[in-house]
């Protein structure tokens, strides 16, 4: 094993290129900028193209164009930039264009944006939330696979810490199984035959090659996302078998929570940990099972309470669920605030434990 010291954005760019990504575009914005820079440096050396777009809207629409030809393509920003991309994400989901979007988020306030989206129509976005750079490398490769497997836009919910933390990492190619042929790609093979392909949200098709049209097409897409919901949920859980309290957290923040739970376990507390790895599909069934016999389900997220909605949808007795996080951002607005520390999390959980004993 040969480790190389890389910051998260560089490791993600390398993992994407190893996955066959040959087109990337974006508009600079902290904490995303370095990801764009690494793609700009590395893609031309790998027969790829990286374009500094004039806006996030232009960026994602170029990415849809590139992906429509069958190429593996990606874009990204932070939550503020993804806000501008919502219409295009919905279009890509409904015209079945596979692409990867990297949200190098500044905090955890984009959970609703990621899992609900702000576009139109019946669509969902597979969202993976890695807890560190090593997992982000794995998730990046998995996302390109899932995008192609389901012909859908997919999202990595990273953050400022994953973006800039430097770690010793080895970028190894991972195998996720075979994929269907891209027999839908607009690769020019059928030009002049009168049967050229079209990707179209309304699926009307063309004169010689009529499409399914909107009703059937959108039913199919709804069925596809329904199937994904039943197949692709991923999660991690620790000590839930004998836990009286389970703490739920996602992304980098979950890594902090996990270490606090480990510490509380060594102090003899019956506490467990649950981390949704996919934010959509949310691992509802697994969380329900993990929390069936617990006294409390605590949700630690650095926002005003977003994932807690999904937790409440999963846990049979909603009265057990309590949020213990909150909004906490650096005064610049560009990264996390002081609440992201093992000590702060420990204090909040211990307050609950002490309160329960009274």
Partner 1 sequence: MEVEVMISGIGGQGIQLVAKTLSVAAISEAHHVQMSSEIGGEMRGGLSISSVVIGDHPIKALPILDKTSSALIFHHKFSEKVIGNLRPDAVVMLNDSVFEGEIQKEDLQIWRIAATTIAEDMGHPMTAGFVMLGAFNKITGLVSQNALSDAMEKVIPPYRKQHIEANLAALRAGEDSVSSDYASIWNHNSPLLKVIG
Residue among 226 and 338 whose Cβ is closer to partner 1: 338
Q: Is residue 167 a contact point for partner 1 (CB under 8 A)?
A: yes
Q: Which of 144, 121, 149, 132 is nearest to 231 (CA)?
A: 149
Residue among 181 and 331 whose Cβ is closer to partner 1: 331
User: Least distance from C-beta 177 to partner 1, angstroms?
Assistant: 26
Task: Provide the β-strand partners of residue 48.
Answer: none
Q: At what angle do helices 133-150 and 8-18 cross, to 10 degrees?
A: 30
**Residues numbered 132-161 forming contacts with partner 1, rule: CB under 8 A:** 132, 134, 161
Q: Is residue 188 a contact point for partner 1 (CB under 8 A)?
A: no
Distance CA(224)–CA(189), nearest Å, equals: 27
Q: Is residue 236 a contact point for partner 1 (CB under 8 A)?
A: no
Q: Is residue 316 a contact point for partner 1 (CB under 8 A)?
A: no
What is the SS3 assignment for 226-283? Answer: HHHHHHCCCEEEECCCCCCEEEECCHHHHHHHHHHHHHHHHCCCCEEEEEECEEECCC
Number of residues that bind partner 1 (CB under 8 A): 20
Residue among 89 and 156 whose Cβ is closer to partner 1: 156
User: Least distance from C-beta 259 to partner 1, angstroms?
Assistant: 6
Place of tokens 């290129």: 17
**DSSP secondary structure letter of residue 180:** -
Return the structure tokens found at 120. Answer: 């139109």
Q: Contact at 8 Å (CB) between 252 and 135?
A: no
Q: Which among 99-107, 138-146, 255-263, 317-325 is the span making contact with partner 1, rule CB under 8 A?
A: 255-263
Q: How many CB atoms lie within 10 A of CB 227?
A: 11
Q: Is residue 347 a contact point for partner 1 (CB under 8 A)?
A: no
Q: Which among 91-99, 232-240, 250-258, 349-357 is the span making contact with partner 1, rule CB under 8 A?
A: 250-258
Q: Is residue 16 a contact point for partner 1 (CB under 8 A)?
A: no
**In terms of DSSP bridges, do strands 166-169 and 4-7 run parallel, antiparallel, or are they unpaired?**
antiparallel
Residue 217: C-alpha distances to residues 139, 154, 220, 223, 322 (Å): 29, 20, 5, 10, 40
Q: How many CB atoms lie within 10 A of CB 197?
A: 18
Q: Is residue 3 a contact point for partner 1 (CB under 8 A)?
A: yes
Judged by CB under 8 A, which of 207, 332, 354, 355 binds partner 1?
Answer: 332
Q: Which of 125, 171, 126 is nearest to 1 (CA)?
A: 171
Q: Is residue 166 a contact point for partner 1 (CB under 8 A)?
A: yes
User: Least distance from C-beta 166 to partner 1, angstroms?
Assistant: 4
User: Least distance from C-beta 132 to partner 1, angstroms?
Assistant: 7
**Residues numbered 258-277 forming contacts with partner 1, rule: CB under 8 A:** 259
Q: Is residue 342 a contact point for partner 1 (CB under 8 A)?
A: yes
Judged by CB under 8 A, which of 63, 115, 141, 252 binds partner 1?
Answer: 252
Q: Is residue 29 a contact point for partner 1 (CB under 8 A)?
A: no
User: Least distance from C-beta 341 to partner 1, angstroms?
Assistant: 6
List of residues contacting partner 1 (CB under 8 A): 3-5, 132, 134, 161, 164-168, 252, 255-256, 259, 332, 340-343
């Amino acid at each position: 094993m040969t480790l190389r010291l890389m910051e998260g954005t560089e490791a993600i760019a390398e993992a994407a290129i190893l996955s066959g990504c040959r087109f990337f575009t974006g508009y600079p914005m902290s904490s995303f900028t370095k990801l764009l820079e690494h793609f700009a440096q590395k893609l031309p050396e790998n027969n790829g193209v990286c374009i500094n777009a004039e806006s996030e809207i232009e960026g994602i629409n170029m990415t849809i164009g590139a992906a429509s030809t069958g190429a593996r393509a990606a874009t990204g920003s932070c939550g503020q930039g993804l806000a501008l991309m919502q219409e295009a994400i919905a279009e890509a989901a409904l015209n079945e264009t596979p692409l990867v979007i990297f949200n190098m988020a500044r905090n955890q306030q984009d959970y609703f944006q990621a899992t609900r989206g702000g576009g139109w129509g019946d669509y969902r976005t597979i969202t993976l939330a890695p807890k560190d750079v090593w997992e982000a490398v794995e998730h990046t490769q998995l996302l390109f696979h899932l995008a192609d497997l389901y012909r859908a836009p997919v999202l990595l919910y990273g953050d400022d810490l994953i973006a800039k933390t430097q770690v010793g990492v080895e970028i190894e190619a991972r195998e996720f199984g075979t994929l269907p042929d891209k027999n839908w790609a607009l690769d020019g093979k059928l030009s002049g035959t009168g049967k050229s392909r079209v990707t179209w949200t309304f699926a009307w098709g063309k004169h010689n090659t009529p499409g399914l049209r909107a009703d059937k097409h959108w039913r199919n897409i709804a069925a596809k996302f329904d199937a994904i919901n039943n197949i692709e949920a991923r999660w991690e859980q620790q000590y839930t078998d004998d836990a009286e309290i389970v703490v739920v957290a996602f992304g980098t923040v979950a890594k902090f929570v996990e270490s606090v739970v480990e510490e509380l376990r060594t102090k003899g507390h019956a506490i467990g940990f649950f981390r949704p790895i996919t934010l959509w599909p949310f691992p509802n069934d697994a969380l329900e099972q993990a929390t069936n016999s617990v006294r409390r389900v605590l949700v630690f997220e650095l926002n005003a309470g977003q994932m807690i909605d999904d937790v409440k949808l999963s846990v049979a007795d909603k009265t057990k669920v309590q949020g213990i996080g909150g909004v906490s951002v650096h005064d610049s607005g560009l990264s996390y605030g002081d609440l992201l520390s093992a000590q702060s999390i420990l204090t909040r959980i211990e307050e609950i434990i002490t309160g329960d004993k009274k």
